[in-house]
Amino acid sequence: MKMISVLVFLLLLNGVEAEAQNKETGNKPKLVIGIMIDQMRWDYLYRYEARYGNDGFKRLLRDGYSCENTFIPYTPTYTAAGHASVYTGSTPALNGIAGNFWYDKVLGRSVYCTEDDSVQTVGSASAAGKMSPKNLWASTISDELRLSTNFKSKTIAIALKDRGSILPGGYSANGAYWFDNASGGWITSTFYMNALPAWVLAFNQQKLPDTFLKQNWNTLYPINTYTQSTADAKVYEDILPGEDNTFPHLTASITTNKYESFRYTPGANTYTFEMAKAAIKNENLGKRNVTDMLAVSFSTPDYMGHKFGPNSIEAEDMYLRFDKDLATFLKYLDATIGKGDYLIFLTADHGVAHVPGFAKENKIAAGTFDDAIARKQINDSLKKDFNLNNVIEHITNYQVYLNDKELNQSKVDKETISNYIIQKLLRYEGVSQAFALETIGTFPLPHKLKEAVINGYNQKRSGDIQFVFKPQWFDGWDKGTTHGVWNPYDQHIPLLWFGTNIKPGKLYREVYMTDIAATLAAMLQIQMPNASIGNVIEELVK
């Protein structure tokens, strides 16, 4: 009888403790995992669906909730802006991240989104760690989660790219890690810590990038089965650094700057997943009676995509391999956190355009525009017609930055020069519209395009004149491809929700990447980020 009484007491005690924990977490997820796939177009979910396994993308689509019409509400659609906008619930106009780079007229130079000379690299002798979120003006959902628990919650951010880690991690991350070409391992900056944790040092000591490079990159299946792709080694594809554009990619033979080449290979995705699992284990994420967050971004699809394009065998093979890695990661989460105890959102920072050569090969209008040539040609015309020097200081993010000092010293008013430049820009075949950004409120543009330009316009960091390309045109080169514009191929991204309190389903009304943070805030019952303009996706939280 005494034994039974003790057992009953212990069961009751466990029940009380469980109830107390449930009250503290409020049936919230133990761990929120943000998965961003750099340069993933929405259609990749379905283009390769027949070849995906049952436990990766298909599991998220089958058992999760897919927002099928998720768009980016601004331009330029670049990596830094995408990561910042997802996690701040805001746009470049308000969060300050106007692109990967922008031109600073006061400094007289281009500024990188996460540069910070006041901090030092941790984990390497290189300068790759002189980075922080200081250029980000707004809080992130990860910051707000930590604030809501008086900093008991942990946030860890991981990406090969510094901007893919730092901007999601925000100001209060317990750790933000990115990949360093010099050391071939994960590094951070003194903004976050003064020394790498022992577990990161141990992870780096495994030298996994070397292991993956030694395996070379051949197709997962016989190459003749890649029917969703063009033939291998098209002339308009670029090359893998240190190698070529033909399967098999013999990465084991790369000796010069091999870790830069590693970034372009599927092994780098696997490596990022392994780092994510190590962070969960060693930081005890999801095991501490509060909701933690892991922000992990996969940079490799972007590196690969720029070189080979969305119709290459490389793209198809990378997503088939990523699907297998994703399935393995989900099984790891089931075993360590528990089914239903973690919440995943999977999205992208932008899409990508077809390679112009591929488009032309298939009789689709396309082309490229050279910023440097346009700048020189228009400046030469301004010198001839107005005797002005270097009026166009810089062109970036589809914006022209004018030389205010030169214009102020001249007898020609700025509006006259601005209109002159606009007319010159419109003569280029690929340019469809050009206008002074200060006139955007009254300039006649389709509503969606106007809204994208306004949301992307940052008065302190944007240029003076905006130009818009015809569809399938971009500023770039003849080999490979890029992104950055307002068109659906760059703006339409996946958004999948899976895990805690998520019921299977699909939503076809239009939502935006800026809605993700507001929706998470509602789910976690915390304040949304301080510059958030997104709306809660009500279908998910009802």
Whether the CB-CB separation of 91 and 412 falls below 8 Å is answered with no
3-state SS string over 181-195?
CCCCEEEEECCCCCC
Is 490 exposed, middle or buried, given 0-12, 13-18 or 19+ CB atoms closer than 10 A?
buried
Whether the CB-CB separation of 421 and 380 falls below 8 Å is answered with no
Whether the CB-CB separation of 174 and 154 falls below 8 Å is answered with yes
Distance of CA 383 to the CA centre of its chain: 40
Beta bridge partners of 120: none
**Among residues 539, 521, 540, 538, which one has the least CA distance to residue 88?**
521
User: How far apart are alpha carbons 344 and 286 in whole angstroms?
Assistant: 13
Residue 172: what residue type?
A: S
Sign of CA dihedral 255, 256, 262, 265: negative
Q: What angle do CA 489, 133, 160 make, to 5 degrees?
A: 55
Residue 428: what residue type?
A: Y
Catalytic pick among 79, 91, 251, 482: 79
Strands 505-507, 109-112: parallel, antiparallel or unpaired by DSSP?
unpaired
- The alpha helices in 287-370, defined as continuous H runs, are 300-308, 313-336, 356-361
**How many CB atoms lie under 10 A from the CB of residue 520?**
31
* C-alpha distance from residue 155 to each of 135, 171, 206, 496 (Å): 20, 10, 24, 21
- Whether 75 sits among the annotated catalytic residues: the reply is no
Active site positions, annotated: 79
